[in-house]
Structure 1
Amino acid sequence: MPVPSPHSPDPLDLPLKLWLARVAHGVSPSSLALAYADWFNHALASPSHQARLSASALRKWLAWLAYARHAWHGDCPLCVAPAGNDKRFDPPEWGRPPFSILAQGFLLQEQWWQEAMTGVQGVSAHHQDVAAFATRQWLDMWSPSNFVASNPQVLAETWRRGGMNLAEGAANWARDAMAVLSDGPPRGVEDFVPGRATALTPGKVVFRNSLVELIQYEPATPKVWAEPVLVVPSWIMKFYILDLTPGDSLVEYLVSQGHTVFMVSWRNPGSADRELGMDDYLQLGVMEAIAAVRRAVPGARVHAAGYCLGGTLLAIGAALLGGRRDNPLASVSLLAAQTDFHEPGELGLFIDESQIAFLESVMAEHGYLDGRQMAGAFQLINSKDLVWSKLVHEYLMGAQSPMTAMRAWNADATRLPARMHSEYLRRLYLHNDLAEGRYTAQGQAVRLDAIDLPMFVVATQRDHVSPWRSVYKVLGAVRSPVTMALASGGHNVGIVSPPGGPMADPQASFRLASHGVGQAPADPDAWLRATAARRGSWWPAWSKWLAGHSGARVKPPALRPLLDGGAPVAAPGTYVLQK
C-alpha cells in the first residue's frame, strides 16, 4: 500500500486554502505577497534606485509630451517601440492620433514599470521575476487595446455595424461564461472527438495496464525498418497531438516512412489514484511499454521518443537502462523535453515552496490537479495572445474564432495525481535533482551520464514550457553522440510541424547539427551562431536519422492480441476518451 506523501496538508488548513485557491485561480497569494514584500522593502531602502526611477519618469513624461504635440502634424518618431512579440499596436489604425498617443503613453508606462521592478539590489532573482511578471499582467489589463473607447479598430467596427459587434461580443462572453460555470467544454470541440476527426491513424491497442494503453499502428509500406519506434507523450496532455488529423499527424508521417510506431496513451486518473507517484509512471508508463513493444517485435531493440515531460520520464528510464549489455533501447529521442530545470523559463515563476504547498492543498480535496488549472498557468505566461487578444477579437469585435483540431486538443484537459504532481514539481523543478545527480527511481540513483545511446534532441525557439536553452543542456549531461535540432515555433506548433498538410507552415525552419560524445558547444548561443537555418519541417530529418540507426527493412510485424481476455481494441483506444 502506498505511503502517504510527507507533504500532505493539514486538514484544518484546507477550507481556507481551498477558498483562497478559488479566488486566486490557483496562484498562491503568499507567493505573490512575499515577492512584492521583498521588492518593496529593498526598493524603499535604495534611494539611488528611487532617483533613477524619478529621472526616468521625467524623461518619459517629457518625451511623451513632445510626441503628443508633434504627432498631430504628420510623421513623428516613436518614443518607444513595442516588444518584438507585442502585436497589439501593429495595425495601421494605431499609427494615427489620438490612438498613437495613447499607445505610446501605455508603452512608456510599461517600460518604466519594468525598470522599477528590476535591478533592485538585494531582491532575490525569483522574487524579482515573480513581481515583474505579476506587474506586467496587471498592466496588460489596462492596455488601451482592451477598451472600446480607446481601440480604433473596435470603434470603426462599432460604427460600421451599428454596435452589433458589441451585442455579438456580449453573446460570446455569455456563452463562454456559461461553459466555465457549468464546467463544460468550449463550443465546437464536439467536432474533433478522437477516433472520429482526430487520432485517425489505423492501429490497435495491443497492451493495457492500470495506467496506459499501448497502441500499435498498422504498417503503410510493404517493408518496415527492423527497429520499432515507441513514443511516450507527456501525461499532462492527451497523446493525439502527435496524431492530430490526416496530413498533420507525426504518427501518420512516421508510418508512411516505413517505421513501426507504438504510442503510449495515458489513463485520465481520478481520486482513487491520488497516491500514484513518479515511480509508478516510470514503471507502468515507460518500462512496461518497452517490454510490451519487445514482445510485439521479438528480437528488435526500440527507438524510444519522449515528448515534453514524457521525454523527461523517458530520460530517467534510459539512464536506469544505460550501460546494460541487454539494453532494450536502440536510441533515445527527446522532443521539447527538459532534463535540467535550473532555468525552466517563465513556468518557473509558479514554482517555489509556497506555490507548491498551495497546490498540494488544492489537490487534497479531490486527490488530483485538474488540467484546466494547469492550463491557466500557461495562459498567464502568454496572456497577450491567449487572453487579451481573445477579449478584443471575440468580445469587442464580435467575431467567433473557429474551433480547430489543435484548439480542441488543448481544451481536452487531463488530471494529475496529487502525489505524482507534487513529486515532479519538487524533485525536478524546485530542487533540480535529476540534473544534479540526486534523483532516485525504483530505489536506484539516476545518472544522466549513464545514457550512452545515440540521441536526437528537438527544441523549439519560442517555447515557454521547455525553453530551448534549457533543453539543450542535456547535450552536456549524457555520454552519447547527439544530433540537435532547433525548430521554429513554440512548444506545440514547433513539434507538430508537418512537411505538408493543413497545418504546414510555409515559414517553418530548423537548425540541425550532429556532435560526437562531449563535442557539442557548452554555450547554446555558440551552437546557435554556428548552425545555419534550413527551410521546412524537421520531421524528414528525424525520420532519416532513425533510419540511419536502424537495421535492414523487414516484413511488418503482426498486430498481436497481447491484451488479456480478448481481442485488441482499435486505435485510439479507450483511455484517450476518458473525461
Structure 2
Amino acid sequence: MTEPRKTAFNSILKDFAENVGKFYKGADVLAGIRDEDVDVGTTPKTLVMRRDKVKLFRYEPTVKRTVETPVLIVYSLVGRYTIADLQPDRSLVRSLLAEGVNLWLIEWGKLGRAERWLTMDDYVDDYIHEAVHRICRETGHDKVTLLGICQGGVFTTCYAALHPEKVKNLVLTMTPIDFHADIDDPEPSHGLLNIWTRALAPEDIDRMVDALGVIPGELMSLIFSLMTPMQALTKYNVELFDIAGDKDRLMNFLRMEKWLADRQDHPGAAGRQWLKELYHENRLVEGRFELLGRIVDLRAIDVPVLNIFGLDDHIIPATCSKALGGQIGGTDYTEVPFQGVGHVGVLVSSKSQGKLAKSIVEWLQPRDG
C-alpha cells in the first residue's frame, strides 16, 4: 500500500473508532436520562383561576418590579405554552421575570374532542375576557398588557379591538394579521404553511372537522415537519448522534423534542374559523371577521402596539405580521424584527436570548404610567 493511500486508510480507521466511541458514550448518557428529567415549563407559578380546562396562573416575582401593569401571556392552541419556558437559560418567562415584569399566563389545558364545539369567540370573549377581569380584581389595575404569541397574538389582537377599555398595551410576537401578504413575498421558503392551507378545499376542512371533531395534533406535527424535510430526516441520525455524548446539549435537544411531541388537538369549530375565515378568506385584515356578531375592526386598536417577528420565519412570514402597522387606529406602533431566526427561534434561539425580553421591557417601561 502506497504511503498516501495508507495515510488515508488510517484516517478513516481513526474517524471510525472515534465515532464508535462517541456512539457508546452517547448511549450511556441516554440510558441515564428518564422522561421526568426532561422537564419543561418549570418556572414557579400559582394557579389563580380555573374555567373548564383553562387555567390562569400568576408567576412569582424574582426581582423588584419595574413594570407594574400586569402582563398576560396568551399562547396558541396549536402547541403548548411551554416553548416560552423551555428551560432556565432559554425561557422568555424567566427573562421577563428577571426584568421585573408582573407576569401572568393563560394555559388552555389538554384539548381534545370534548372541546370540539369551542370557537374563537369562546377563547377571545370568554376565557381571555374572564382572565383579564380576574387579573384586574387581583391587582387593582383597570387594564392589562396583552402579550400574544403566534395564534395567541391573533386572539389578543381581536380582544384589543373589541375591548380596548381593558388593554393598556398590546405586544405581539410572530403573529399573522394579513394571511395573504406572503403571496407577493419573493422568498420561496416563506409562507409554505399559508400556501398549503389555502390549497385545502373548504369541503375537505368541513369533512375532517365533522368526522373527527378536531384538527389532530399529529396532523399538524406532520405538516410542520414536511416544511423542513431535511431537518426532519437528519435530526435523529446526524444531529442527535453528534450531541449524544454531551449531556447539556442532549438535554436541550430532548426538551425541544418533548415540546414538539406535546402537540394537542385543535378544537374543530375554532379550527374551521381559523382555516376558512382567516387563511382562506383573509377576513381579519379586510374588516370582515366577526366574533359574537361583532366585526373585529383593527382601527379600534388605539393602544400602544409592539410587533415582534422573525425575518426568516417560514411559518408566519414577516410580511404577514408587518401588515398590522397600516391597519390599527393608534399611532404608537413599534416593530422589532429579529434577523437570522425562524418561528420558534424568536423564543428559544441563542441569538434572541435576553434580547427579546429586554426589547419588550424597554418598550413597556415608558408606557407603564
Same fold (TM over 0.5): yes
Q: Structure 1 residues 264 and 330 mapped into 2: Cα distance closer, same or farther (>3 Å)? A: same
Q: Structure 1 residues 192 and 467 mapped into 2: Cα distance closer, same or farther (>3 Å)? A: farther
Alignment RMSD (CA, Å)? 2.9
Q: Give, in whole Å, the separation in 2 of the partners of 1:463 and 1:157.
A: 42
TM-score (norm 2): 0.82
Amino acid at match of 1:221: V
TM-score (norm 1): 0.53
Equivalence for 2:342: 490
**Per-residue CA distance 1:81-123 (angstroms, 9 max, x = gap):** xxxxxxxxxxxxxxxxxxxxxxxxxxxxxxxxxxxxxxxxxxx
Asked if 1:243 corresponds to 2:85, the answer is yes
Q: Structure 1 residues 256 and 361 mapped into 2: Cα distance closer, same or farther (>3 Å)? A: same
**How much does 1:161 deviate?**
5.9
Asked if 1:366 corresponds to 2:212, the answer is yes
**How much does 1:470 deviate?**
1.4
Equivalence for 1:221: 63
**Per-residue CA distance 1:173-199 (angstroms, 9 max, x = gap):** xxxxxxxxxxxxxx9782456xxx322
**Per-residue CA distance 1:327-382 (angstroms, 9 max, x = gap):** 11110011000111013511122223644533443344431122121011111111
CA contact (8 A) 1:333 1:455 kept: yes
Q: Structure 1 residues 159 and 219 mapped into 2: Cα distance closer, same or farther (>3 Å)? A: closer
Which structure has greater strand proportion?
2
Q: Give, in whole Å, the separation in 2 of the partners of 1:450 and 1:216.
A: 29
Equivalence for 2:3: none
**How much does 1:259 deviate?**
1.3
CA contact (8 A) 2:65 2:102 kept: no
**How much does 1:205 deviate?**
0.9
**Per-residue CA distance 1:450-503 (angstroms, 9 max, x = gap):** 100001000002111111121111001112211100013111112235xxxxxx
Q: Give, in whole Å, the separation in 2 of the partners of 1:243 and 1:362.
A: 32
CA contact (8 A) 2:66 2:365 kept: no
Asked if 1:381 corresponds to 2:222, the answer is no
CA contact (8 A) 2:112 2:264 kept: no
Q: Give, in whole Å, the separation in 2 of the partners of 1:399 and 1:252.
A: 26
Asked if 1:190 corresponds to 2:35, the answer is yes
**Per-residue CA distance 1:383-425 (angstroms, 9 max, x = gap):** 12222x2375279x79869343222212111111111111110
2:283 to 433, 456, 462: 433
**How much does 1:270 deviate?**
2.2
Q: Give, in whole Å, the separation in 1 of the partners of 2:268 and 2:14.
A: 48
Unpaired segments ≥5 residues, structure 1 = 1-155, 173-186, 498-503, 510-535, 552-579
CA contact (8 A) 1:209 1:284 kept: no
Unpaired segments ≥5 residues, structure 2 = 1-11, 183-190
Q: Give, in whole Å, the separation in 2 of the partners of 1:270 and 1:308.
A: 20
2:108 to 237, 248, 266: 266
Equivalence for 1:393: 238
**Per-residue CA distance 1:118-157 (angstroms, 9 max, x = gap):** xxxxxxxxxxxxxxxxxxxxxxxxxxxxxxxxxxxxxx69
Amino acid at match of 1:338: P
> In structure 2, the residue corresponding to 1:299 is in which secondary structure?
coil
What percentage of aligned pairs have identical amino acids? 27
1:110-509 correspondence to structure 2 within 5 Å = 160=16, 190-191=35-36, 197-322=39-164, 327-344=165-182, 345-352=191-198, 354-387=200-233, 389-390=234-235, 393=238, 402=250, 403-480=253-330, 481-488=332-339, 489-497=341-349, 504-505=350-351
CA contact (8 A) 2:91 2:347 kept: no
Q: Give, in whole Å, the separation in 2 of the partners of 1:189 and 1:233.
A: 28
Q: Give, in whole Å, the separation in 1 of the partners of 2:365 and 2:18.
A: 61
Amino acid at match of 1:160: F
Q: Structure 1 residues 452 and 393 mapped into 2: Cα distance closer, same or farther (>3 Å)? A: same
Q: Give, in whole Å, the separation in 2 of the partners of 1:393 and 1:277.
A: 42
Q: Structure 1 residues 458 and 157 mapped into 2: Cα distance closer, same or farther (>3 Å)? A: farther
Q: Structure 1 residues 486 and 192 mapped into 2: Cα distance closer, same or farther (>3 Å)? A: farther
CA contact (8 A) 2:179 2:278 kept: yes
**How much does 1:162 deviate?**
12
CA contact (8 A) 1:192 1:405 kept: no
Q: Structure 1 residues 357 and 299 mapped into 2: Cα distance closer, same or farther (>3 Å)? A: same
Q: Structure 1 residues 541 and 271 mapped into 2: Cα distance closer, same or farther (>3 Å)? A: closer
Q: Select the structure of larger CA radius of gyration.
A: 1
Q: Give, in whole Å, the separation in 2 of the partners of 1:350 and 1:157.
A: 46
Q: Structure 1 residues 317 and 202 mapped into 2: Cα distance closer, same or farther (>3 Å)? A: same
Amino acid at match of 2:110: N
**How much does 1:224 deviate?**
4.8
Amino acid at match of 2:136: R
Q: Give, in whole Å, the separation in 2 of the partners of 1:208 and 1:271.
A: 19
CA contact (8 A) 2:283 2:289 kept: yes
**How much does 1:296 deviate?**
1.3
Equivalence for 1:10: none
**Per-residue CA distance 1:219-239 (angstroms, 9 max, x = gap):** 222445331111101111111
CA contact (8 A) 1:226 1:300 kept: no
> In structure 2, the residue corresponding to 1:334 is in which secondary structure?
strand
Structure number with higher relative contact order (C-alpha < 8 Å, ≥ 6 residues apart): 2
Q: Structure 1 residues 198 and 432 mapped into 2: Cα distance closer, same or farther (>3 Å)? A: same
